[in-house]
Chains A and B, each alone.
Chain A
Amino acid sequence: MQISAVQIDEILARAEKLPSLPGVVRELMHALSREHPNTQEVAHLLAVDQSLAARALKLANSAYYSQRSRIATVQQAVAVLGFSAIRAIVLGATIYEVFNNSELEKGYFDATEFWRHSIGAAAAAENLARMADLPNHEDAFTAGLLHGVGLLILDQFMQPVMKALQEMVETENLTLAEAEEELLGFDHAHLGARLLEQWFLPARIVGAVRFHHYVDMAESDHLPLAACVHVGQIMTRMLGHGNPGEPYFPRLHRAALKALGLNADHLSGLIEGIDQAIGDARVFLPVGAKR
């Protein structure tokens, strides 16, 4: 079964139940995508959705952010967390709700394992971005969090394809991305990137998600962030934080390591710090996902 790259749109169209983002979330994404987001505007929009506002307040008061005084208002929470963390909370909670909709058929993935992997990749990618002194290290967290969203689409809206992919992984000793390329002509990274474009995510995050498997194909603007997600998600797998639905570890791309100024010795030295960062980031797990 060969499906051309053009048919990514058809897959997205087939996912009729896949939400366009809820109104308030869409407005939040718009507000957060501006070059200089307005704290008041973001806080106001966040306050419209009580569950999102409560999550922001809870996270701002958590040990992860270790504030000396209690954060009592949504505006204070936005100031403490920063716009990238707000984006991560909003998208994490929304996507989790969307893909755990009881009306959808149960997919192949264990949702908790998938989210543990996504949060782990987010924390690891951010850690690597800080280490590499990238200016947009918080974007690395968001890109890491969302890097596998294309898999969720395949898992819940293209189940015959997903079944075939799983069989290819088992019988032909392939990674999921390799099986997707062979069967579909594109991988879940491209599918996920298209969805994120529709959801008004910044181009730098979309680019990092799109090229997190094939880092050497990323344009120079997207290369460092894609490299963070690539290395981060593989390190997360190696450290045993969740599973995106395949047993084998992909190869670390040399172009990704080069972009971050790393070699195997550096990576060995980063293992403990990355593992610690992943453990700390469990506070970002969506409500309902087991910790």
Chain B
Amino acid sequence: MPRETRKIPSKESQIRRTGDLQVGDVVADHVMDKSDRLLVRRGVALDEVTISALEKRGIEEILIQAEASKIATGTIVVDESGNATILGAGGQTLAGARGVVNVTARVELKHEVERLQLGFSRVRDDPLMMKLLPVLQEYLARKVSQRYGDAR
């Protein structure tokens, strides 16, 4: 299966105090401790455990991606180019802790997202059907992630 790795492009970032961090905030640059040991890699979406660990390590503030906050686990994010990414278990992006992107998974997921969006396009006024859409999206995203690995 052909794979390709590349760094996540840097996005507009902002400094946030550790006490103000929220689950889903994405780290814009590596977070190091005072001994210069790596604590959190660039591109990781923070979960509660990681935020708590940063506070315990005395990290006062970190650089986060400005637009990436408050994204729930399992959410499929489709950027302007049509590339699809999901947040996996623990809030990490499919791009993963190492900041790499599994292109095969992205292509598959993009296809699934488009298929679901087209399939559901006639029933957007039906609350029952629309209740199933996010559940299906999350399940299929998890399935794609399990099939191809999420590079964590």
Contacts and interface: CB of A to CB of B under 8 A. Distances in A.
Nearest to B123: A251
Contacts, number: 48
A131 interface: no
Contact of A239 (B122, B126, B140): B140
B119 A249 contact: yes
Contacts of B116: 238
Contacts of A203: none
B115 interface: yes
Nearest to A175: B122
A271 B135 contact: yes
Contact of A264 (B122, B123, B128, B143): B128
Give the interface size bracket for A toward B. 20 to 34
A254 B139 CA distance: 23
Given A240-B115, A272-B139, A267 B132 contact: yes
Nearest to B120: A249
A54 interface: no
A199 B121 CA distance: 37
Interface of A: 173, 175, 237-240, 247-249, 251-252, 254, 257, 263-265, 267-268, 271-272, 275
- Specify the main secondary structure of chain B where it touches its partner: helix
B38 interface: no
Contacts of A240: 112, 115, 140
A180 B133 CA distance: 27
B119 A247 contact: yes
A239 B135 CA distance: 11
B53 interface: no
B108 to A, nearest CB: 10
B132 A238 contact: yes
> Closest 10 CB pairs between A and B?
A264-B131, A249-B119, A268-B135, A248-B122, A264-B128, A247-B118, A271-B139, A251-B123, A238-B136, A251-B126
A79 to B, nearest CB: 35
B129 interface: yes
Interface in B105-152: 112, 115-116, 118-123, 126, 128-129, 131-132, 135-136, 139-140, 143
Contacts of A267: 132
A252 B129 contact: yes
A237 B123 CA distance: 14
Contacts of A173: 122
Nearest to B139: A271
B129 A248 contact: no
B132 to A, nearest CB: 6
A248 B118 contact: yes
Given A237-B119, A238-B136, A268-B135, 15 more contacts: A173-B122, A238-B119, A239-B136, A247-B118, A248-B118, A249-B119, A249-B120, A252-B129, A254-B128, A263-B128, A264-B131, A268-B131, A271-B135, A271-B136, A275-B143
Contact of A249 (B112, B122, B135): B122
Given A264-B128, A264-B131, A268-B131, A248 B136 contact: no
